[in-house]
Amino acid sequence: MRKLPKDQLYQLYIEDFYTYQEIAEFFRCSTETVRKNIEFFNLPKRSKGMSITRRLKMKNQELRRLLNHLYWERGMSTHMIGIISK
């Protein structure tokens, strides 16, 4: 396994919410190498939806408020919310 720099990996994965694919492209390695390094360094697992906060350039709390507004107040379906968030 190619060892990736722990500090940079932590920054990209935990703080900047990069996906495995984006990290792999950054380091020019496979997603499997990224996964193994994350396990090797015991970095905390993220939920799959965390990368959306980065893509939408929102903080987690802001995203929660927006989703709540779209679903409960505007009556949008989860499918429609997914389409507009791409």
CA distance 13 to 5: 12
Annotated domain spans of the chain: 1-47, 56-86
Sign of the Cα pseudo-torsion (83, 55, 51, 33, in order): positive
Output the pTM of the full model.
Answer: 0.64
- Output the pLDDT for position 86: 67
Predicted confidence (pLDDT) per residue in 26-45, tens digit:
999 999 999 999 999 999 98
Q: Quick: pLDDT tens for 45-72.
A: 887 667 677 777 777 788 889 999 999 9
Q: Determine the straight-line distance between the first and last CA of the chain, rounded to whole angstroms.
A: 33
Question: Which residue would you say has higher pLDDT here, 1 or 37?
Answer: 37
